[in-house]
Chains A and B, each alone.
Chain A
Amino acid sequence: DQQVKQNSPSLSVQEGRISILNCDYTNSMFDYFLWYKKYPAEGPTFLISISSIKDKNEDGRFTVFLNKSAKHLSLHIVPSQPGDSAVYFCAASAEDDKIIFGKGTRLHILP
């Protein structure tokens, strides 16, 4: 049973436009959510996080929105830049300290 789902394996966005990556989860006990970015041949790097007591967190071009009633979070990147082309992973943690990752979404920024 997949507790963290990223239903879009890939996404293409024009440079300068908004990229929206989505993530759904099933476990209502998750209390912290994170987004990671991964380039080929490198380890993932932390991007942005949000606690379950908030509904929005912003850091520069990156904003994460959390809708607890829908068990849905999204990452907005504005404006999208060529260096944003990467695989993005959504992750969640619960009180048991396990961290569950989604399968990832590959973002292509088109010139």
Chain B
Amino acid sequence: EAQVTQNPRYLITVTGKKLTVTCSQNMNHEYMSWYRQDPGLGLRQIYYSMNVEVTDKGDVPEGYKVSRKEKRNFPLILESPSPNQTSLYFCASSNRKTYEQYFGPGTRLTVT
């Protein structure tokens, strides 16, 4: 089954404690991306990657890091989380040509 998986699905943490949200896709997609969804703001792109070892900033990259060492995986790293990073996060992947993205189920992060 074609899918994008994210882990964990729910996470409560404290300010400053480093965390990683994993993302994996099984469709051999070139393009992968992270978004955050906040009330009234829609989906905003954090980082995207067009292929292995190629990453670029989206609209809201501050406070986040990513890496793309393998085609299937695209982890999101928060080195020092802050309460304003409390949000619902989605990972997505697509064939680069069409951008018709498959989204993961989301990770709800709370930073206290």
Contacts and interface: CB of A to CB of B under 8 A. Distances in A.
A103 B92 CA distance: 18
Interface stretch (A13-21, A61-69, A70-78, A93-101): A93-101
Interface string B99-111: 1111111100000
B105 A101 contact: no
Interface residues of B, number: 27
Interface in A29-44: 32, 34, 36, 41-44
Given A43-B104, A46-B100, A102 B48 contact: no
Interface stretch (B14-22, B33-41, B62-70, B75-83): B33-41
Nearest to B108: A41
A103 B103 contact: no
Contacts of A46: 100-102
Interface of A: 6, 32, 34, 36, 41-46, 49, 89, 91, 93, 96-104
8 contacts: A42-B106, A44-B103, A46-B101, A49-B100, A98-B56, A99-B99, A103-B40, A103-B41
